[in-house]
Amino acid sequence: MLKITARTMTKSLLIPLATLVITGAVIGGTGAQGASPGAPEDPAPPKVRPLPDAAPLEPEDFERLTFHRAAAPLAAAAKTADWPHLLGPSFNFSTPESHLLEEWPADDASLSPVWEVERGPGYAAPVISGRFLVHIFRHQEKELVECLNPENGKRYWFVETEVDHGQSFGVEDSARASPTIKGDFVYTVGVASHFQCIHLPSGEVIWKRDLQSEFKTPRGFFGKGGSPLVHGESVILNLGGEQDACVVAFDKRSGVVRWIARHSWGGSYASPVPAVLHGEERILVFAGGQSRPPHGGLLCINPANGAIDSSVPWRPDLYASVNAASPVLVHPDRVFITEAYGNGGAMIRFNPDLSATTEWTSPQFSSQFSTPIFHKAHLYGFDGQSDAGTALVCFEARTGRELWRHQDLNAGRGNLLRAGGHIYCAGEHGELFKLLLSPAGVRVLDSTRLFHAPETFTPPVLSRGLLYVVQSNPDIKAGTPPRLLCYDLRAPEDPKPEASGADR
């Protein structure tokens, strides 16, 4: 059951969606897999609501919001960017943001939050476009998609869905797939594979689908995980449904199936990444989820028709494993993939015909879920699948040679973000670090404790000088519940010259 709540829902103001054109099925296929492409069948084309023709909503205070202080004004020369999907504006956890604080406050135990919103469990990162921030999380027995103002945390609207969350390995399922914003729409995939398109200015659900019932997708170890990718006219998901419906493209306006890339590999927790390989647009999908026998690997897919150019198996022979770190594009024709249950990392080179060759592998670069960062010929990321045994590592991308391994940071399975000439690291227990990384080693420029909460697995988000961090579990010292917190990293008008955060 879906309940939509927004303050402006005047049905008399709704108009037909004049621009909606259902393009029909686009031929999909398996390319190098040898099967003949065929027109896909859509098991349940969704009903499409017309776009509302009403004044945009204004955000309001609500009971779970605590506003602390106004953020500093942006410097006139500051570079800013949206963060519209999980991997950031360039799909590599980096952003061109500039004029960020060079020195963090020394007289405070932590950076002071601008605002915070109490929320339920969930590991999905928020996404930001203009005046809208959208996040998804578990709220009591429902799943909540909530749209906030990124400057002050006030709420525009929310959409809630009744969900049977379930649990695996003693962990209750909660949202893991980040929303994706494109234009005036946001696309969300919930823990139970509820897929919907929401009109950002109004909070109206334009169309919705139940992928678990329609495509018979397995629940997965912790529910659905991979975030949607909007590319051209399609919203692309790594489903792993029955009849080898591995990757499916849906029309972004109507929600109907455009093509299906058929492969036996299941849906993973990694998110699809766009790439240009040898002048050709392609989609990289690191597939592989709950399956017996366990299987998965890297797929190179033509976004025009779903044809698979090549597939590289990469998953250990271990049932209780998943592929979760997204592919890392290493310019111009190489892609790094990594998993944490035995195989580790692999550098894949795509040939001019888009066949694939494995250049090197290393079991010592095994990231469980955080996506590494590539910068100036080097890869930086976390190796390990437990808090105590995890290390920050640097590898030479061309050769696969390990240059250093740093275990003194005590960040656990952290997440990296590159911005303003520095590397920011969100640690597993609520720490935040500002780092200078180079092939020579690690230098900690600043560090602070934001909270004391385990399983801080959600990647941080930075947009317009504001940093957003998800506390997914209660604070074990302060007792605060899970929260979304906003911190001000905006520097004064004339900051000090910025050093390079990696490979100075």
Cα-flanking dihedrals φ and ψ of residue 57, to 5°? Answer: -70, 155
Per the structure block, which two tokens stand in for 203? 């909070």
Count of domains forming the chain: 1
- DSSP-derived pairing of the beta strands 167-168 and 171-172: antiparallel
Q: Are 258 and 249 in contact (CB under 8 A)?
A: yes
- Give the dihedral sign, CA 307/313/315/317: positive
CB atoms within 10 A of CB 18: 8
Question: What does pLDDT average to over the chain?
Answer: 89
Question: Which string of DSSP letters, residue by residue, matches 403-455?
Answer: EEEE-SS---S-EEEEETTEEEEE-TTSEEEEEEEETTEEEEEEEEE----S-
Whether 219 is covered by a domain: the verdict is no
pLDDT digit string (tens) for 66-83? 999 999 999 999 999 999
pLDDT digit string (tens) for 379-438? 999 999 887 789 999 999 999 999 999 999 989 999 999 999 899 999 999 999 999 999
Mean pLDDT of 457-479: 97
Whether 341 is covered by a domain: the verdict is yes
CATH number for the domain harbouring residue 277 = 2.40.128.630
Whether 233 is covered by a domain: the verdict is yes
Residue 51 burial (C-beta neighbours within 10 Å; 0-12, 13-18, 19+): buried
pLDDT digit string (tens) for 33-63? 333 344 578 999 999 999 998 888 999 999 9
Interatomic CA distance for residues 322 and 335, integer angstroms = 19
Per the structure block, which two tokens stand in for 214? 């329609």
Q: Are 206 and 249 in contact (CB under 8 A)?
A: no
Cα-flanking dihedrals φ and ψ of residue 32, to 5°? Answer: -65, -10
CA separation, residue 255 to residues 9, 85, 208, 234, 357 (Å): 22, 19, 7, 9, 35
Closest listed residue to residue 342, CA positions, set 370, 312, 314? 314
Whether 9 is covered by a domain: the verdict is no
Give residue 141's pLDDT.
Answer: 84
CA geometry: angle at 417 spanning 413 and 422, to 5°? 120
State the amino acid at position 476 in one-letter form. I
CB atoms within 10 A of CB 496: 9
Res 15 pLDDT > 80: no
The DSSP code for 107 is S
pLDDT digit string (tens) for 304-336? 999 999 999 999 999 888 899 999 999 889 999
CA separation, residue 113 to residues 262, 385, 409, 469 (Å): 46, 30, 23, 10
Domain that holds residue 295: 229-270+272-325+327-370
Give residue 55's pLDDT.
Answer: 86
Q: Categorize the per-residue pLDDT at 152 as very low, low, confident or very high, splitting at 50, 70 and 90.
A: very high
Whether 174 is covered by a domain: the verdict is no
Whether 289 is covered by a domain: the verdict is yes
Using alpha carbons only, how large is the chain's radius of gyration in Å?
A: 22
Closest listed residue to residue 443, CA positions, set 490, 504, 489? 504
Whether 123 is covered by a domain: the verdict is no
Per the structure block, which two tokens stand in for 358? 């494995």
The DSSP code for 28 is B
Residues 6 or more apart in contact with residue 380 via CB below 8 angstroms: 372, 373, 374, 392, 393, 394, 416, 423, 437, 502
Mean pLDDT of 82-108: 92
Whether 152 is covered by a domain: the verdict is no
Cα-flanking dihedrals φ and ψ of residue 214, to 5°? Answer: -75, -40
CA separation, residue 163 to residues 166, 307, 366, 451 (Å): 9, 34, 33, 29
Res 342 pLDDT > 70: yes
Res 219 pLDDT > 80: no
